[in-house]
Amino acid sequence: MSEYQGTFKRYEKKYLVTQQQYNALAKVFAARMVPDRFAESTISNIYYDTPDFRLIRRSLDRPAYKEKLRLRTYCTPGADTEAFVEIKKKYDHIVYKRRIAMTYAEAQRYLDGGTAPEESQISHEIDWFLQ
């Protein structure tokens, strides 16, 4: 796997904008931002939940703290595609994301009850979440 950022802490603000507003914002942001290697990607996510949909039901209640588990790729996934298994937590409007990289096939095996391809603090946190 290539180098990747495994942890994130950020504030998220989401706005609904028109195409005209987007174009104006993009022009302003272009001078201040550097695109990363995923800038032109098609993102694919699979969110995992309990059989009774506890995670999404809790999220819809807009609690102060919520968490999600997802499998993410930045293209249409194939067995050897780089994939990320991520825990995404939100507390008091701050988003914390912790992720590990592996192939899509490894991620599927891991999330279907297998072991993480490599052991780390983040894989232990994902293992705990899965339990």
pLDDT in tens, 26-58: 999 999 988 888 888 899 999 999 999 999 999
Query: Which one-letter DSSP state was computed for residue 45?
Result: E
Q: How confident is the model at residue 73 (pLDDT cuts 50, 70, 90)?
A: very high
Task: Tell me if residue 57 falls in helix, strand or coil.
Answer: helix
This prediction has a pTM of 0.82
Q: Tell whether the torsion through CA atoms of 20, 39, 47 and 55 is positive or negative.
A: negative
Q: Which two tokens stand for residue 52?
A: 């009774």
Q: Within 13 Å, how many C-alpha atoms sit on residue 17's CB side?
A: 11
* Cα 24 from Cα 21, distance rounded (Å): 5
36-45 residues labelled b (16+ CB within 10 A) or e (exposed): eeeeeeeeee
Q: How confident is the model at residue 1 (pLDDT cuts 50, 70, 90)?
A: low
The H-or-E segment that residue 125 falls in is helix 121-130
Q: Which amino acid is at 48?
A: Y
| Per-domain residue ranges of the chain | 7-130
